[in-house]
Amino acid sequence: MKVKKIIENIITIIATESHNVRRDVNLIAILVLAPLFYSFFYSSVYLNKVERDVPMAVVDLDKTFSSRELIRLLDANSNISVKSELEFPDEKLLRNGMVQGIIVIPKYYERKLKRHEKNTIKVYLNTSRFLISNDLNKGINETVASINEKIKTSLFKAKGFTTEQSRILSEPVELEIRNLFNLLDSYGYYLIPAVLILILHQTLLIGISESIANSRETNEIIRWKRNYGIMTTLTAKGIYYTLLYSVYLLFFTIIIFPLFGIDFKGNYIVLIITGFLFLGSVVYFGIFISSFFKKKLYALQIMALTSYPIFLFSGYSWKLDAMPILIKSLSYAVPFTPYINLFTKLSQAGAGFKNLMPEIFHLIILILIYLYASYIRIHKLNEV
């Protein structure tokens, strides 16, 4: 009978929480509209996924057939778009962003090629935007490497070797690189999954914080112990918000991923189970933190400012090992950190439970810590 009563209380609390969310415009905006809107909005920014045709300028001091051929090959590279030819390397074009790089083809370029002498091509890159400069640098290196290989091959053919023998001799060690997961080296594959998980984390964190802060504002929180029991109430709220946001997790992987051309390589059973752990840890993390706010406005102001720090501290854009110990310690306390690593392995590499155990244990520990911390904190509030 006692178990039956607890289950009835949990169902009652879930129904009450659902009613409170539906009648609160702020919670509807945060918990329902925001995840949908931001999932489409942020993903659409990386719709093309791969950056192409980075603008660059060329200074051709040689003006020969070989230099013009080099310019043609550069422009033919998918990463590069030759926008203009200059008389000298004008760095003002780099500063004002009209081009992202300037390549200088030296005088006597063709003569040195025919004499098999060393040529030095200068490249000026706008490295203040390093992602773009990396793409441009990659395109230039690929183009120059193809020219070098062609020259080496022609030299060996002139010595009497066959075409195949010349190709092998010109490149005795061939490098074969296979991208196993992010096949196109695209920003979309890299950023969209992380952004979607951050949307889940932050909207749920803000929503639960608004709800708990409202309970403090109306003094409802001090009646939890008397009405249904603190642990029963915490369990019910955890179930409600976890189930609500698990729908978004499936929506992101089933609808948003295919819509923006991203493959989900993982198992959906693994996704649901690990997703429950992640969402549950976020719920109790949010309950504990927000229990210190007496006003909804304060909770919203503070939680809304945590998005960028949480993303930066997660180790997704900059590895944790390179961060100060204090920041690393703080990052391990946030559910987003273990789950973004887990979700990347699951969604892009198709990892299973065996490969995800460190992150799973991390999430379980966070759930237990924040559930216990929330219980102690609300118990103290009920004693006031």
Name which of 108, 16, 26 is nearest 62 in CA terms.
108
pLDDT at position 58 is 92
- Of 71-80, 170-179, 317-326, 367-376, the poorest mean pLDDT is in 170-179
Say which amino acid occupies 63: K
Which two tokens mark 39? 């999932």
State the residue for tokens 């699951």: 346
Pairwise CA distance, residues 209 & 232, whole Å? 19
What is the average per-residue pLDDT within 140-158? 82
Query: Residue 176: is its pLDDT beyond 80?
Result: no
pLDDT at position 153 is 79
pLDDT at position 162 is 79
Query: Residue 6: is its pLDDT beyond 80?
Result: yes
Identify which has the larger pLDDT, 176 or 238: 238
Parallel, antiparallel or unpaired: strands 101-105 and 54-60: parallel
Residue 201: band (very low, low, confident or very high) from pLDDT cuts 50, 70, 90: very high
Residue 2: band (very low, low, confident or very high) from pLDDT cuts 50, 70, 90: confident
Tell me which range, 51-60, 300-309, 367-376, is most confidently predicted by mean pLDDT. 367-376
pLDDT at position 384 is 58
Query: Residue 361: is its pLDDT beyond 60?
Result: yes
How many Å separate Cα 383 from the centre of its chain?
43
pLDDT at position 288 is 93
pLDDT at position 253 is 93
Domain spans of the chain? 2-47+184-383, 54-170
- Sequence-ordered list of residues with C-beta below 8 angstroms from that of 137, at least 6 positions apart, any chain: 101, 123, 125
DSSP state of 78: T
Give the CATH number of domain 54-170.
3.40.1710
Going 84 to 88 to 93 to 94, the CA torsion angle's sign is positive
- Of 94-103, 164-173, 214-223, the poorest mean pLDDT is in 164-173
Query: Residue 271: is its pLDDT beyond 90?
Result: yes
Query: Residue 183: is its pLDDT beyond 70?
Result: no
pLDDT at position 20 is 86
DSSP state of 253: I
Give all strands (DSSP E) within the chain, no chain letters: 54-60, 80-86, 101-105, 122-125
Name which of 367, 330, 32 is nearest 210 in CA terms.
32
State the residue for tokens 């590069």: 80
Helix (H, G, I), strand (E, B), or coil: what is residue 262?
Answer: coil
Residue 286: band (very low, low, confident or very high) from pLDDT cuts 50, 70, 90: very high
- Of 173-177, 310-314, 343-347, the poorest mean pLDDT is in 173-177
What is the Cβ-side half-sphere exposure of residue 114, based on CA atoms within 13 angstroms?
Answer: 8
Pairwise CA distance, residues 382 & 384, whole Å? 6
Q: DSSP letters along 80-117, please?
A: EEEEEEESS--THHHHTTS-SEEEEEPTTHHHHHHTT-
What is the average per-residue pLDDT within 125-135? 80
Residue 104 in contact with residue 70, Cβ under 8 Å? no
Which two tokens mark 43? 């993903």
Pairwise CA distance, residues 169 & 152, whole Å? 8
Pairwise CA distance, residues 218 & 328, whole Å? 37
Query: Residue 327: is its pLDDT beyond 70?
Result: yes
Using CA atoms, how far residue 163 sits from 101, 307, 326, 359, in Å, is 35, 57, 60, 53
As a whole-number percent, the residues of the chain with pLDDT over 70 amount to: 96
Query: Residue 294: is its pLDDT beyond 90?
Result: no
Identify which has the larger pLDDT, 59 or 223: 59
Identify which has the larger pLDDT, 273 or 294: 273
Going 79 to 85 to 88 to 93, the CA torsion angle's sign is negative
pLDDT at position 370 is 96
Pairwise CA distance, residues 112 & 45, whole Å? 46
- Sequence-ordered list of residues with C-beta below 8 angstroms from that of 163, at least 6 positions apart, any chain: 153, 157
Residue 112: band (very low, low, confident or very high) from pLDDT cuts 50, 70, 90: confident
Which two tokens mark 252? 């992101």
- Of 42-51, 67-76, 261-270, the poorest mean pLDDT is in 42-51
- Of 18-27, 40-49, 51-60, 223-232, the poorest mean pLDDT is in 40-49
Say which amino acid occupies 298: Y
State the residue for tokens 């887990």: 342
**Bridge partner residues of 86 (DSSP):** 59
Parallel, antiparallel or unpaired: strands 101-105 and 122-125: antiparallel
